Chains A and B, each alone.
Chain A
Amino acid sequence: MIDKTDLWIVIIGLGLGSFLLRFTFIGLVGGRPIPEWMLRHLRYTAVAILPALVAPLVVWPAATDGQLDAPRLMAAAATVAVGLATRNVFGAIFAGAFVLYSSMYLLG
């Protein structure tokens, strides 16, 4: 169970922190140029962090007590494949859900 005090610390801290991330450049830096090395790293934040969050959830799903699970692996693969091929977020989600449900049904 999530502790209520911790929860509110996270909500408020994350709210303030997210606002500062959004505000820092446009609010404080204003018209000054931003160093190229910093922009170069910022460009990769999303593709650097999201896979690290998802990979353990795919390989060791909590719902199967951390056991490798064929339907979930196949669903993840299908999502990435369709996402890469079509560049369509919706199509990718749909493909992943379809493979997850049909393989769970077939593999029982």
Chain B
Amino acid sequence: MPATTPKTRKSRPAFWRGCTDSAPFLLVVAPFAMLFGVLATEAGLNLTETMAFSIVVIAGAAQFTALQLMAEEAPTLIVLASALAVNLRMAMYSASLTPYLGHAPLWQRAILSYFILDQSYACSVVEYEKKPDMTLPEKLAYFAGTSLPIVPAWYAFTYAGAVLGTQIPESWALDFALPITFLALLAPMLRTPAHVIAALVSIVVSLLMAWVPYSLGLLIAGLVAMIAGAQAELYFERRGTAR
């Protein structure tokens, strides 16, 4: 990573600040990764496959989506499209980090792209907005710091879950751990009326579209809800009642 070997002494504190700012997220990341390890193992993936999933993709919600759809035997193309749709928010993170980190050398931007996660993004954007006079090396160091606690934990707890996987009794109703976790992640995101409308449209359309083959209903619902959210935002903006 670009900033783990800081040449200037100034970037060191930024790196450690990043670490401590993102460390609390471990409380969410660790169980989430573990749950993926457990569910992947229960779906019949071996240790190598489960670990490859977490290391190559490194995006929890998309991994769960892919796993769920593969278990439902959806066609591979639909699995990919749906899981990538879940990950579209990464494009938004990338876009909103661009004004701050876009001037770093291309190879550094390529490396840091892998580390764009919910947690590293959330910490970094807040920090950059709070301290506009940070230099580029400081910003990079901070960003590197925010992913340091999260990424190894993501791997390690996936591993722990995969090892534990098959030993968990059915009476624990782990099938419902995924819906509960997603709902828990979702509820705090409902910050504006437009977000609420998008979520409601998403629920209604997905239930209406459940008959559509190949799990395409998920993509249709996602697309319609995204448009609904954007249109609602425009509407509330025009009425001057947004946020």
Contact = CB atoms under 8 A, between A and B. Distances in A.
A and B found bound together? yes
Nearest to A101: B173
B1 interface: no
B103 interface: yes
Contacts of A24: 91, 94
A47 B98 contact: no
Interface string A68-99: 00011001100110111001111011001100
B19 interface: no
B184 A10 contact: no
Contacts of B45: 2, 7
B181 A93 contact: yes
A47 B59 CA distance: 16
B98 A30 contact: yes
A29 interface: yes
Sorting the interface of chain A by its residue count into under 10, 10 to 19, 20 to 34 or 35 or more gives 35 or more
For the complex, would chain B's binding face be called helix, strand, loop or mixed by DSSP majority? helix
Interface stretch (B9-17, B127-135, B152-160, B192-200): B192-200
B43 interface: yes
Contacts of A47: 186, 189-190, 195, 198-199, 202, 225, 229
Contact of A43 (B65, B83, B102, B229): B229
B226 to A, nearest CB: 4
Interface of B: 27-28, 31, 43-45, 49, 52-53, 56-59, 61-63, 65-66, 68, 70-71, 76, 79-80, 83-95, 97-99, 101-103, 106, 109-110, 112-114, 116, 173, 175-190, 194-195, 198-203, 205-207, 210, 217-218, 221-230, 233-234
8 contacts: A14-B83, A47-B186, A47-B190, A51-B203, A54-B182, A56-B207, A56-B210, A56-B217
Interface of A: 1-2, 4, 6-15, 17-19, 21-27, 29-31, 34, 37, 39-63, 71-72, 75-76, 79-80, 82-84, 87-90, 92-93, 96-97, 100-101, 104
